[in-house]
Amino acid sequence: MFTFQEPYLMNSAISLSLSGFYYTRFYREWNEEQLGARIGLGYQFTHDLTGSATYRTTRVNIRDLITTSIPELTEVFGDNYLHGFGLRLAHDTRDSSFLATEGHLIEASIEQVVGSYSYPRAELDVRQFFLIRERPDSSGRHVLSLTGRVGYTGDNTPIYEHYFPGGSSSLRGWDYRGAAPSIGGVMVGGHFQVLGSAQYLFPITADDMLRGVVFCDFGAAQRRIDEWEDKLRVAPGFGLRITIPMMGPAPLAFDFAFPISSEQFDREEVFSFWVGFNH
């Protein structure tokens, strides 16, 4: 992947972003190759409010299917071409994008995709951070964070664009994409997704290099927005955040989560490792 960003195009409040990417992913259900590019224009309405319009074009090649008995999977075999036109609006009052202790992020986006498939897509991401207490020098902060995400994608969405929750960035306690709707044990994802998390962050060492967290993640994806079939997954847990100055502001994160509500074909995973503070 390569990216280019100009935050003040021609000394204005307009921003320009360009990116290109190529990757191959090896999933259990299929192998996927994507080649594409994205262009975006943004505008800073106020200090906290930003908006953007984007266009993306992608060639998606699907191969090595795990089965040919699922129509949603076999119909995407080979090359697919997608063109997406999107709008995004974000209100961000967080005091830091890496280690937020106060403020909120409210981000809404919509996209219309055309090409081999035509479908709409809409997502909402809400994050609120509460500073519970701190030392007189503003270190040693205790922070409660509440996050919620909702996503919907149209009925004609190809399977590789479905929602597949699971993993450190969505539902801790499950393997990557391991909490998605399935057919006969084959993960097929959903058209509707709801995710949430409550987390408490606290210092362990005086220099704030080591922090602890306790949390509870919950959510699920559904094959249809009007039919709630799968259980709501729930997993409480705890973890550590280790900040190493030479590695920048994003710390190493080690989490242990224990699912207490899951489905038969879910792929659970107690331990997860990732880089970053905010879930």
pLDDT digits (tens, 9 = 90+) for 146-189: 999 999 999 999 999 999 999 998 999 999 999 999 998 899 99
Tell me how crowded residue 29 is: count the other CB atoms within 10 A of its CB. Answer: 22
Q: Please give the share of the chain, as a percent, with pLDDT higher than 70.
A: 97
Average pLDDT over residues 93-121: 95
Quick check: helix, strand or coil at residue 160?
A: helix
CB-based contacts of 168, cutoff 8 Å, min separation 6 = 253, 255, 272, 273, 274, 279
Average pLDDT over residues 195-223: 95
Question: What would the pLDDT profile of 14-28 be if each residue is shown by its tens digit?
Answer: 999 999 999 999 999
Helices (H) and strands (E) in the chain, counts: 1, 17
Average pLDDT over residues 89-97: 94
Nearest-angstrom CA–CA distance, 217 and 237? 8
Residue closest to 153 by CA, chosen among 116, 126, 192: 192
> Partners of 217 in the beta sheet?
197, 235
In the prediction, which pLDDT does 225 show? 83
In the prediction, which pLDDT does 96 show? 86
Average pLDDT, the chain: 94
In the prediction, which pLDDT does 278 show? 59
The answer to whether residue 279 scores a pLDDT higher than 70 is no
Which domains are present in the chain?
A: 2-275 (2.40.160.50)
In the prediction, which pLDDT does 184 show? 87
Quick check: helix, strand or coil at residue 99?
A: coil
In the prediction, which pLDDT does 274 show? 86
Question: What would the pLDDT profile of 216-261 be if each residue is shown by its tens digit?
Answer: 999 999 998 877 778 899 999 999 999 887 776 678 899 999 999 9
Cβ-based burial of 193 (10 A; exposed 0-12, middle 13-18, buried ≥19): buried
* pLDDT-based confidence at residue 277 (cuts at 50, 70, 90): low
In the prediction, which pLDDT does 134 show? 94
CA distances in angstroms from 188 to 35, 70, 94, 184, listed in the order given: 22, 9, 36, 10
CB-based contacts of 201, cutoff 8 Å, min separation 6 = 141, 142, 143, 144, 145, 211, 212, 213, 241, 277
Tell if the pTM clears 0.85, that is, is over it: yes
